[in-house]
A and B are shown apart, each in its own frame.
Chain A
C-alpha cells in the first residue's frame, strides 16, 4: 500500500489503487457523464432529428436542420449581430485594459482602490448590471444622455433604435468585462524583467520607444490569449442581452445563444436549436484549438 517517494514503478499500479481511484473519481464521473459527455453526443444526435420533447416523437431528417439554418435570413442576421458585438467590444476592451494595466503597473497612490474599482463590474451579476444600464440609457432621465449633452450630442433613444441598441450593448459589454483583461495584462506586465527596461534606458530609449519595442512584443503571448478568450466569451454573450435589450429592437441585438435559447425553450424545437448550438460549437472549437496550440507552444516551446 505504501508508496515510497517519487520513484514509483510499475508494481504500484495495483488493483488497490485502481479501486480507490475509481471511488475517489466516481462522484465527478457520474455528474460529468450525465451533464457533459452524454449531452455533447446527444445534442449532435438531436441536430439530425426533428424532436418533440413532450410527445417524445423523433424523426430522422438528416441535414435538414442545418440547411434550414443556413437558409434562414434570421440566422444570418443573428450571426452578423454576434460578429458585430464581438468585433465591436474586443478592440476597445483590449486597448482600455492594456492602458489601465500599464498605468496601474506604476506606483500610484490608491492603486489598490483603483484596481478594485475597475474589477468591480466583473464580479457583479450580469442581470443586475443590465438593469442598472437600462436606467443609465433611459432616453429622458438617464445619466448617459445627460453626460453626452455636455459634448453637444442630442439625446439618443439608446435601446429603441437598432444601431444605437447595438452600440449600447457594446459599451455595456466593455464596461462589464474589461476588468478581467486588465488583471490578465497586469500579470503579463509583471512578467517582463526590469532589466530589459533598464538596458533600453541606458541606450537612451524614451517612454514610447520602451512601450513599443519592449512592452508590446513581450506581451504578445498574453495578448493572443486574451484575444482568443475574449472572442470565445463574446460569441456566447447572453445574460446582458436578455435583460438589456431582449434581442431587440427588431432583432438588432439578437445574438447566437439568444437564438438557441428561443428555439429550444420558447418553441421547443430541440433539433433545430441543437443544430445552431453545434454550429456555435464548431466556431468556438476552431478558436479553442488556436488557443490550445498557443498554450502548448508556451508550455513546451520554452523548455
Chain B
C-alpha cells in the first residue's frame, strides 16, 4: 500500500516536472529573439560573424550604440516619437473624456444612434481611410510635419468607448452635489469624473502611447525628411541602408524596443486590459 502511494507520487512529480520543463523551454524560445538582440548589440563584428553562434560577447562594449547614434540621428528620432506619442495621448485623453462624458451623462436627441455610429467606425479598416487622409493632409500642406503625425490621431472611438463605459459606473450623486454648488458641466467632468476615472485613463494612455510609438505605416506615408523620422521609420530606413550590419541594427532595435518594454514591465495590467477590451491586433 505504502509502496503504491509513493509510486503515484513519483508519477505525479514527473508529470509536474515535465510540464515545467516544457513550458519554461517554450518561454525561453519565445524570449530568445530578445536575448539574442541584446547580446548581439554588445558584440563586435568578429564575434557576430561566427559559426556556431556565440551567445555571450567577450566584453560588453557600448560601441555599437555610439556608432548607431552617429550613423543616424536616433536622438532626433527619439524626440520625434516621444513628442508625437505624448501629444496624441494627451489629446486623446481630452477629446475622449469629453466625448465620453457627452455619451455617458448628457441627454440629447440622437445620442444612441450617434454612439452606435461611433462604434461602427472602429470596424473601418485603416487602409481604406489611409489614402484620402493622406490627401487631406496634402491639401492642408501638412505632409512631413508633426501635425501630419499628430492631428489624425487626436480622437479615438476605442478611447471614447472605454471611458464612456467607465463613466457609466460612477454614481451620479457626486455630480449632483457639484451641480447644486453651481458647477458647470466642464467643471464636473474635470473635478469629479476625471479624478475618479484614473484606472481607465491610465489604460487609455498606455495603450495609445504604445500604439503611436510603435506605429509605422502612417509615418512611412506622411514623412519624407530625415529630421522628421520617428524611431520606427528611422529603424526601417536604417535596415535598408546597413543591410547586414547586425551590430548597428541590433543596437538600433534595442533602442526602439526598450522604452515600451520598460513601461510594460511596470504597467502590465493596463496593457492586458487594453488588449482584452479592444481585441486589437498588431
Please give the residue numbers on chain A whose beta carbons come within 8 Å of chain B beta carbons, in ascending order.
1-6, 8, 12-13, 17-18, 20-22, 24-25, 27-28, 30-32, 34-40, 42-43, 46, 53, 100, 103, 108-110, 113-114, 116-129, 131-136, 138, 140-143, 146, 175-177, 180, 183-184, 187, 225, 229-230, 232-233, 236-240, 242-243, 257, 260-261, 264-265, 270, 273-274, 277-278, 280-281, 284-285, 288, 292
B131 touches A146 (CB 8 A): no
For the complex, what is the distance from the CA of A120 to the CA of B264, rounded to whole Å? 8
B232 touches A39 (CB 8 A): no
Given the known inter-chain contacts A117-B31, A135-B36, A141-B48, please indicate yes or no for A1 contacting B214, CB distance below 8 A: no
Listed by A's residue number, 21 A-B pairs whose Cβ atoms lie within 8 Å are A3-B107, A8-B107, A12-B107, A28-B99, A35-B136, A39-B136, A43-B129, A43-B131, A53-B138, A114-B23, A121-B30, A131-B253, A141-B50, A177-B282, A183-B272, A183-B275, A229-B281, A236-B126, A242-B217, A265-B220, A288-B123
Does B246 count as interface, using CB distance less than 8 angstroms?
Answer: yes
A229 touches B279 (CB 8 A): yes
Chain A residues lying within 8 Å of B125, measured Cβ to Cβ, are 232, 236, 277, 280-281, 284
Chain B residues lying within 8 Å of A37, measured Cβ to Cβ, are 121
- The residue of chain A having its C-beta at the shortest distance from the C-beta of B249 within the complex is A131
Could you say which of B56-64, B147-155, B195-203 contacts chain A?
B147-155
Chain A residues lying within 8 Å of B281, measured Cβ to Cβ, are 177, 180, 229-230, 232-233
B276 touches A187 (CB 8 A): yes
Partner of A239 from the list B26, B53, B216, B276 (CB cut-off 8 Å) is: B216
A-facing mask of B128-167, CB < 8 A → 1, else 0? Answer: 1111111110100000000000011011010010000000
For the complex, what is the distance from the CA of A2 to the CA of B180, rounded to whole Å? 8
A42 touches B36 (CB 8 A): no
Chain B residues lying within 8 Å of A238, measured Cβ to Cβ, are 127, 216-217
Chain B residues lying within 8 Å of A264, measured Cβ to Cβ, are 130-131, 134
Does B213 count as interface, using CB distance less than 8 angstroms?
Answer: yes
A128 touches B235 (CB 8 A): yes
B282 touches A233 (CB 8 A): yes
Does B82 count as interface, using CB distance less than 8 angstroms?
Answer: no
A-facing mask of B13-44, CB < 8 A → 1, else 0? Answer: 00000011001101100111110110010000
Q: How many Å from the CB of B243 to the closest CB on chain A?
A: 9
A24 touches B99 (CB 8 A): yes
For the complex, what is the distance from the CA of A238 to the CA of B33, rounded to whole Å? 20
Does B257 count as interface, using CB distance less than 8 angstroms?
Answer: yes
B127 touches A125 (CB 8 A): no
Partner of B30 from the list A117, A141, A225 (CB cut-off 8 Å) is: A117
Given the known inter-chain contacts A8-B107, A280-B128, please indicate yes or no for A135 contacting B40, CB distance below 8 A: yes
B249 touches A135 (CB 8 A): yes
A25-B99, A43-B132, A121-B30 provided; 9 other pairs, C-beta below 8 A?
A2-B176, A13-B107, A24-B98, A27-B95, A27-B155, A108-B20, A133-B33, A180-B279, A265-B221
Chain A residues lying within 8 Å of B12, measured Cβ to Cβ, are none
B217 touches A261 (CB 8 A): yes
The 6 closest A-B pairs by CB, nearest first: A233-B281, A39-B132, A31-B155, A39-B129, A24-B102, A125-B214
Does B250 count as interface, using CB distance less than 8 angstroms?
Answer: yes
Q: How many Å from the CB of B156 to the closest CB on chain A?
A: 8
A-facing mask of B69-104, CB < 8 A → 1, else 0? Answer: 000000000000000000000000011101101100
Partner of B124 from the list A5, A40, A243 (CB cut-off 8 Å) is: A40
For the complex, what is the distance from the CA of A237 to the CA of B155, rounded to whole Å? 23
Chain B residues lying within 8 Å of A108, measured Cβ to Cβ, are 19-20, 23
Partner of A4 from the list B176, B185, B217, B231 (CB cut-off 8 Å) is: B176
Chain A residues lying within 8 Å of B180, measured Cβ to Cβ, are 2
- The residue of chain B having its C-beta at the shortest distance from the C-beta of A175 within the complex is B30
Chain B residues lying within 8 Å of A36, measured Cβ to Cβ, are 121, 124, 129
Which residues 215-247 of B have a CB within 8 angstroms of A? 216-217, 220-221, 231-233, 235-236, 239, 244, 246
Chain A residues lying within 8 Å of B128, measured Cβ to Cβ, are 39-40, 43, 277-278, 280-281
B102 touches A132 (CB 8 A): no
Chain B residues lying within 8 Å of A229, measured Cβ to Cβ, are 279, 281
